[in-house]
Chain A
């Protein structure tokens, strides 16, 4: 399988996540490459103008298609936007309209590109990864990787994909009650105090659970939890693995 790597804009403030995810995939022999992708738009551009949002995502999908690749991203928000767009673009008439716009930049999308979150990819290689670590880990999902349920990568009510994977590669997992609570990161600009109290409560819960560190899978969660740090280490899960190989 050939994969186009989509780091997403917030990966810049969590460069560590993007770099370690690439390192891990390369180590596992996955054929992954970087490309000239644009911003997924997020719900902000979608609400501003849904046509623009769809065309931006179609451009990204068309780039992967041109290379005969699927897309892998580290960001749950990008995952959600790309995936939603890919589903809409399976409709031929929608695709025809969008291609009318893409033609102005010399591109075209035929459909059929799959979108994955990096966890979905590396979990298939769990047997080939073995870490040397006694760390007790709190696996933190956050929101958009699970919800809404029709897009999420696991059961939204009772997810286990993340813990299962980390256990298989050799970490000890704690029972973490806040694992799918919201870090409030999206409130960073509109309600900074609210954002901090949400992120803080996630870390307090992690401490209570007896964890040595929190593993994240979202650049925005990573950024948010780092801002309110309470002494417990917070790491993107791919860094956690690469550091302990």
Chain B
């Protein structure tokens, strides 16, 4: 395997710094050697500090791969689902719509975050959700790709292992 367990990634890692259990070196070993996913991947800060890996393993990409695996299995954290659905419906991350979706999923924002938003934006912090001009086109793009994804599960565009081939990008996630 490419990773030789030097620990450079862990030493530089933002998330390891604020969460004792978060150890990219160990996560690389377990995933790349044994294919073992770790829920901790959701706590990666996407800071790319681990680019210094002397073996160019790119732990930040491996973290993203693990998250994509979870999503494929349908194990999607509430905030990810709320984010994607907000973009799909509104064309952009309408904050009010996002916060409402989060609250519906039982996730309440940290009080200091809410206070800071209110302090900055005044009454506008309570603005009603508003679809941006591009919302229709964006929803359409989601629908077109999601439909062809469903089709691909039925027809021959499924490859030998039964995994969906990328429909558009030609580059696996």
- By a beta-carbon cutoff of 8 Å, the part of chain A in contact with chain B is 9-10, 12-13, 15, 36-39, 41-52, 54-56, 59, 88, 91, 93-94, 97-98, 100-102, 104-105, 107, 143-144, 147-149, 156, 181-182, 184, 186-198, 223, 226-228
Contact between A97 and B169, CB atoms less than 8 A apart: yes
Looking at the assembled complex, report how far the CB atom of B168 sits from the nearest CB atom of chain A, in whole angstroms: 4
Q: Which of B1-34 contact A (CB under 8 A)?
A: 14-15, 17-19
* B 52-76 to A, binary, CB cutoff 8 A, 1 in contact else 0: 0000001010001001100100001
Closest to B65 in A: A47
Complex interface: chain B residues within 8 A of A45 (CB): 83-84, 87
Contact between A12 and B84, CB atoms less than 8 A apart: no
26 contacts between A and B (CB under 8 A): A12-B95, A13-B121, A36-B134, A38-B132, A38-B134, A38-B137, A41-B87, A43-B64, A48-B71, A50-B172, A51-B149, A51-B168, A52-B141, A56-B138, A100-B168, A104-B144, A107-B137, A144-B46, A181-B14, A186-B45, A187-B15, A189-B102, A194-B43, A198-B18, A227-B113, A227-B116
CA distance A46 to B68 in the complex (A): 9
The 7 closest A-B pairs by CB, nearest first: A194-B18, A147-B48, A182-B47, A9-B93, A51-B168, A182-B14, A192-B110
Contact between B79 and A190, CB atoms less than 8 A apart: yes
Please count how many residues in chain B sit with their CB below 8 Å of the partner chain's CB atoms.
Answer: 60
Contact between A38 and B168, CB atoms less than 8 A apart: no
With A46-B173, A192-B113 in contact, do A148 and B48 touch (Cβ < 8 Å)? yes
Looking at the assembled complex, report how far the CB atom of A162 sits from the nearest CB atom of chain B, in whole angstroms: 17
Contact between B14 and A189, CB atoms less than 8 A apart: no
Complex interface: chain B residues within 8 A of A13 (CB): 95, 117, 120-121
CA distance A223 to B137 in the complex (A): 29
Closest to B141 in A: A55
For B107, B110, B166, B168, the residue with the greatest tally of chain A CB atoms inside 10 Å of its CB is: B168
With A48-B84, A56-B141 in contact, do A182 and B171 touch (Cβ < 8 Å)? no
Contact between B18 and A38, CB atoms less than 8 A apart: no
Q: Which of B74-93 contact A (CB under 8 A)?
A: 76-77, 79-80, 83-84, 87, 91-93
Contact between A50 and B43, CB atoms less than 8 A apart: no
Complex interface: chain B residues within 8 A of A9 (CB): 92-93, 95
Instruction: Tell which of A50, A55, A197 touches B18, judged by Cβ atoms closer than 8 Å.
Output: A197
Instruction: Tell which of A156, A187, A226 touches B116, judged by Cβ atoms closer than 8 Å.
Output: A226
Contact between A52 and B91, CB atoms less than 8 A apart: no
Looking at the assembled complex, report how far the CB atom of A3 sits from the nearest CB atom of chain B, in whole angstroms: 19
With A13-B120, A55-B168 in contact, do A50 and B173 touch (Cβ < 8 Å)? yes
